[in-house]
Structures are given as structure tokens and as C-alpha cells.
């Protein structure tokens, strides 16, 4: 007969052998678990549940003093390893399914004229709840791993060359929860209609999306920009302001162009830069939200009270939606302030025109050839004419004379010569006493100042011929000889006829 103590020992040994069998086989790794992570998660979950049940049975045996503390710790370690494997498999599935997407990217213009992008990003990892139901995962464990939260999301905006074009350069979202999208605002350092949104999140996952930006359709206006917002134009000439028109409207796509506060003496019209066709209205198509236009202005030939010389003339270009054109009325009938234009809630840009002039000096000489005797003088005159669009100052005629000749210029300097004004200058040239017979050239150079800038006229060249003086006695003698010869011939002829 076997003693009771021996029976208890054999029973405990048998239970220990039976309990240790599944524990030794609970780690059943399959190389395909890394590829098919959901199946690997199911395998890890079953191994964990088996090891947990084994531990609970061993715990009952320990309470009945059938196994030692070391045996119980061994089963606890096995269960802990299985639990870690299970959690790692669960995290691998959850991180694999993490996904951050851009739900909206809206471009708008701030009051100061800067362009911004309003970016809305969302955690679209919606499959985690389905995994919980599919695998019958414990809710407490599932919640502790926060499957609906993507941590450490970094977002930046770049152009096609990879350069960051936003301010701030990068934004970090500490936690992005499922069903709670986050809106970010970036100021664009480069005005583009299509950008690349770069995202890094979670355990190193990354995405780069090239996005065509939406327009803020709530404002119903066109943003207007011009690189040449201020130009200096010479009177009588034309200037062109290049305009970039960008649509921010979901209501209208047809607009009118108007110029406000420009004096009526200045001609103006809009044109298409590509075809040079004149524009009064334009339309955005469905494929483009940006257009180019040009404003050409022509100044009068002379300054007026409304078009003063060197004075800036500010004016506005406004873009009025077609459905607001009738309600706006005649915009040209009055002078507008910037605050009044802003209250119209239309797109506009402020431009500036500075009329400039340029003096142009013309020299008219009625005669440039003179013939005098050695003791004579040359009296000539030239007319100085300002054919430009700015007053001329300190008009002076400079003369390059032959050696030892003398000159006289009256007046020596013309202080001012207004636009279109004409002044005559008298010149006197006197040859030297020992001048030789021949031709001499005198060069006339005329200069002036226009707005402290030198202005030169075309040089003129006068030719003076010095003729030999007349010998009166010799001339008389020659005449007498000729008369005597002629008389002798006549007398000789008469005598021959009488014979």
C-alpha cells in the first residue's frame, strides 16, 4: 500500500509534466508572421492566452503547496514573454495601419496681401476598431496602446525643388487622434498653386503628396498683384503695368477691369499680354485660377495741373465681379479712397505713376557758309529750341575757332529754356590780321542741363571763305589796255575798208 504522501508527490509530478507540455510548445514562430502580420497577431494572441491559462493553473497548485515558488516563477516568465510577443505583434499591426492624410488645402490671401495655405490633416487609421472586433482583443489592452492616436506628426511644405517655402518651416503635432482633424496655417514664401506636403509620423512612417491648392471660395474676389507697382514715365510716352489675377471665388468666374483715380488726360486700356487684344472683361476657366493681364497708360506731351511733372499720381486697378457691376454703378464718376474701395469687397491693387520729362535741344542755323574779305567779319545767328518735355537750364553755345580768331556770343548763356520755347543767339567771328586766303571751319557745340543731367545738341559747322582783296589801279590799267586794243582794231578795220 502506497503512502498518502507518496501519492501526493506522484500527482503533483504528473500535473507538473502535463502543465509544462503546452508551455514548452507555446513559442511557435513562423517566418511569414512578419509578412502577414494579422495572422502573426492571431498566433501570438493564442500563445499568450494559452500561457496565461497555464500560469493560472500553476498558481492554483502553488496555493495548494503542490509546486514550489521557483516553478511558479518559471510559468510566470513564460506568460510574460508571450504577453510581450503578443503586444509587439499588436503594435506592429497598429503601426502598419497608421495613416495621416491631407483632407483640405486651401490657399487664401491675408489683408496684408500675403498668401497663406490653410492645411487640414487627419488621422485616417480607421481600421483599428475593425481589428479589435476581428481578433476579439481585450479592450483594456487595446485602449492602453492608443491605436486611434498617431504621435509626433511633422509637417512641412516644399516646392518642386524640395525647398521649404512655408513659414513656419515645419509644424509638429504631438498627438493626432482619429476623428479629430487638425488645421494648420502656413504663410507661403513662394506664391505657387501646387505644393508638396511632406509628413513624418509615428515610428518613422513618411508621406509626400503633391497637392493642387484649393482657392478660398468664400470671399468671391480676385486677388491682383503687380511687380511694377510704381513707374516713372516720360511725358508723351507709354508705360505698361503687368498684372497677375488670381481667382478666390466659388460664385463668379466673369469679372470686369476698372481703373480708378487716374486723370482723364492719361489714356489707359487693358490688354492680353499673349495676344495683345484689348480687355474690358475676362473669364476664368475650370482648368486655371490664375490669369495675366497688362494695363497700358499713355501720358500727354505737356504737363498739366492734373498731370504735374515729377509728382506721383496714385491710382487703383479694381476687379469687379460681373454680378456686382450694376450695383457698383459708375466707378469713374468720383475719386475713391483706399478705405472706400476695401468696403466694396472687390480685388484691387494700388499703383503709382510718376510723370518725368527730358529736355531735348535743337539748334537751327539759317546759314552756314560765309565769304568775306580778310578785313571783314562774320555775323550769324542760331536758334535754340527745346523740343523735349522738361525745362532746359544753362544753355550755352561753345565755339571752336581757328587760331588767333576772335568771337562774340550774345547772350553767352541762356539761363532757362522752357518746353517748346525758342531763343536766338547772335555770333560774331573776326579773322586774325594776317589771315591767309582760303576756307576755314568753325565748330559750334551746344549743351544744357535737364534735371541736372547733361543734354547736348547736334554739332554745327560753319564755313568761312577768305577772298583776296581787289587791286583797283591794276584793274583800271587792264581795262584801259583792253579798250585801247579794241579801239585800235576798230580803226585798223575802218582803214582797210576804205582802201
Q: Which three cell numbers stand for residue 307?
A: 498731370
- What is the percent of the chain where pLDDT is above 90? 32
Q: What is 361-466's CATH number? A: 2.60.40.10
Sheet with strand 267-271: strands edge to edge: 221-225, 238-248, 290-298, 267-271, 278-279
Q: What pLDDT shows up at residue 137?
A: 57
The winner for highest mean pLDDT among 66-70, 220-224, 480-484 is 66-70
pLDDT (mean) for 48-59: 87
Residues 6 or more apart from 301 whose CB is under 8 A from it? 235, 236, 389
**Which residue, among 207, 242, 214, 212, has the nearest Cα to 228 in the 3D structure?**
242
At 143, is the pLDDT very low, low, confident or very high (cuts 50, 70, 90)? low
pLDDT (mean) for 78-107: 78
Residues 6 or more apart from 354 whose CB is under 8 A from it? 230, 231, 232, 233, 310, 311, 312, 313
Q: What pLDDT shows up at residue 485?
A: 84
E-assigned strands of 312-360?
313-321, 347-356
Q: Name the CATH superfamily for 100-215.
A: C2 domain (2.60.40.150)
Q: Which three cell numbers stand for residue 228?
A: 511694377
- Whether the CB-CB separation of 96 and 35 falls below 8 Å is answered with no
Burial class of 428 by CB neighbour count within 10 A (0 to 12, 13 to 18, 19+): middle
At 499, is the pLDDT very low, low, confident or very high (cuts 50, 70, 90)? low
With a cut of 90, say whether residue 497 has pLDDT above it: no
Helix (H, G, I), strand (E, B) or coil at 405: coil
pLDDT (mean) for 25-38: 51
With a cut of 80, say whether residue 76 has pLDDT above it: yes
C-alpha span between 209 and 232 (Å, rounded): 45
With a cut of 50, say whether residue 16 has pLDDT above it: no
At 6, is the pLDDT very low, low, confident or very high (cuts 50, 70, 90)? very low
Give the single-character DSSP code of 93. H
Number of Cβ atoms within 10 Å of the Cβ of 42: 16
Q: What is the mean pLDDT of the chain?
A: 81
pLDDT tens, residue by residue, 440-463: 999 999 999 988 889 999 999 999
What residues pair up with 297 in beta bridges, in sequence order?
239, 268
Q: What pLDDT shows up at residue 457?
A: 92
With a cut of 60, say whether residue 259 has pLDDT above it: yes
pLDDT tens, residue by residue, 181-226: 999 999 999 888 889 999 998 777 888 989 988 877 666 778 888 8
Q: Which three cell numbers stand for residue 81?
A: 514573454
pLDDT (mean) for 361-388: 92
C-alpha span between 430 and 440 (Å, rounded): 12
Q: Name the CATH superfamily for 221-356.
A: Immunoglobulins (2.60.40.10)
- Whether the CB-CB separation of 466 and 431 falls below 8 Å is answered with yes
Q: Which three cell numbers stand for residue 295?
A: 494695363
- What is the percent of the chain where pLDDT is above 70? 82
**Which residue, among 294, 465, 256, 265, has the nearest Cα to 378 in the 3D structure?**
465
Q: What pLDDT shows up at residue 4?
A: 42
C-alpha span between 403 and 401 (Å, rounded): 6
Burial class of 6 by CB neighbour count within 10 A (0 to 12, 13 to 18, 19+): exposed
Phi, psi of 41 (to 5 degrees): -65, -40
Amino acid at each position: 500500500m502506497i503512502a498518502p504522501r507518496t501519492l501526493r508527490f506522484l500527482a503533483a509530478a504528473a500535473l507538473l509534466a502535463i502543465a509544462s507540455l503546452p508551455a514548452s510548445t507555446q513559442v511557435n514562430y513562423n517566418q511569414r508572421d512578419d509578412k502577414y502580420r494579422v495572422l502573426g497577431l492571431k498566433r501570438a494572441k493564442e500563445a499568450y492566452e494559452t500561457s496565461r491559462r497555464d500560469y493560472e493553473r500553476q498558481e492554483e497548485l502553488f496555493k495548494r503547496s503542490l509546486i514550489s515558488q521557483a516553478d511558479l516563477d518559471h510559468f510566470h516568465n513564460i506568460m510574460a514573454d508571450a504577453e510581450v510577443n503578443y503586444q509587439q505583434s499588436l503594435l506592429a499591426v497598429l503601426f502598419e495601419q497608421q495613416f495621416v492624410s491631407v483632407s483640405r488645402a486651401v490657399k487664401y490671401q491675408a489683408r496684408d496681401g500675403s498668401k497663406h495655405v490653410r492645411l487640414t490633416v487627419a488621422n485616417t487609421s480607421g481600421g483599428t476598431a475593425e481589428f479589435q472586433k476581428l481578433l476579439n482583443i481585450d479592450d483594456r489592452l487595446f485602449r492602453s496602446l492608443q491605436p486611434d492616436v498617431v504621435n509626433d506628426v511633422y509637417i512641412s511644405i516644399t516646392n518642386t525643388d524640395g525647398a521649404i517655402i512655408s513659414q513656419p518651416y515645419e509644424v509638429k503635432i504631438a498627438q493626432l487622434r482619429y476623428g479629430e482633424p487638425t488645421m494648420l496655417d502656413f504663410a507661403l514664401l513662394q506664391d505657387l498653386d501646387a505644393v508638396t506636403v511632406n509628413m513624418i509620423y509615428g515610428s518613422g512612417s513618411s508621406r509626400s503628396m503633391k497637392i493642387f491648392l484649393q482657392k478660398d471660395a468664400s470671399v468671391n474676389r480676385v486677388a491682383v498683384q503687380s511687380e511694377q507697382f510704381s513707374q516713372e514715365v516720360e511725358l508723351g510716352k507709354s508705360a505698361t503695368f503687368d498684372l497677375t489675377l488670381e481667382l478666390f471665388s466659388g460664385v463668379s468666374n466673369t469679372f470686369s477691369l476698372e481703373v480708378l483715380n487716374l486723370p482723364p488726360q492719361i489714356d489707359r486700356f487693358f490688354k492680353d499680354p499673349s495676344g495683345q487684344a484689348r480687355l474690358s472683361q475676362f473669364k476664368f476657366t475650370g482648368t486655371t485660377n490664375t490669369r495675366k493681364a497688362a494695363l497700358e497708360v499713355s501720358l500727354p506731351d505737356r504737363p498739366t495741373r492734373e498731370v504735374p511733372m515729377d509728382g506721383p499720381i496714385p491710382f487703383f486697378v479694381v476687379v469687379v465681379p460681373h454680378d456686382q457691376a450694376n450695383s457698383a454703378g459708375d466707378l469713374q464718376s468720383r475719386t475713391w479712397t483706399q478705405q472706400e474701395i476695401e468696403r466694396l469687397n472687390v480685388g484691387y491693387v494700388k499703383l503709382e505713376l510718376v510723370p518725368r520729362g527730358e529736355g531735348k535741344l535743337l539748334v537751327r542755323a539759317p546759314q552756314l557758309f560765309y565769304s568775306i574779305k580778310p578785313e571783314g567779319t562774320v555775323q550769324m545767328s542760331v536758334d535754340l529750341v527745346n523740343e523735349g518735355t522738361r525745362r532746359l537750364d544753362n544753355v550755352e553755345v561753345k565755339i571752336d575757332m581757328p587760331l588767333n580768331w576772335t568771337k562774340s556770343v550774345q547772350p553767352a548763356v541762356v539761363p532757362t529754356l522752357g518746353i517748346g520755347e525758342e531763343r536766338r543767339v547772335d555770333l560774331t567771328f573776326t579773322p586774325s590780321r594776317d589771315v591767309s586766303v582760303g576756307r576755314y571751319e568753325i565748330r559750334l557745340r551746344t549743351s544744357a542741363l535737364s534735371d541736372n543731367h547733361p543734354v547736348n545738341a547736334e554739332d554745327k559747322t560753319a564755313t568761312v571763305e577768305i577772298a583776296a582783296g581787289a587791286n583797283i589801279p591794276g584793274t583800271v590799267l587792264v581795262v584801259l589796255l583792253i579798250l585801247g586794243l579794241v579801239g585800235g582794231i576798230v580803226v585798223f578795220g575802218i582803214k582797210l575798208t576804205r582802201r
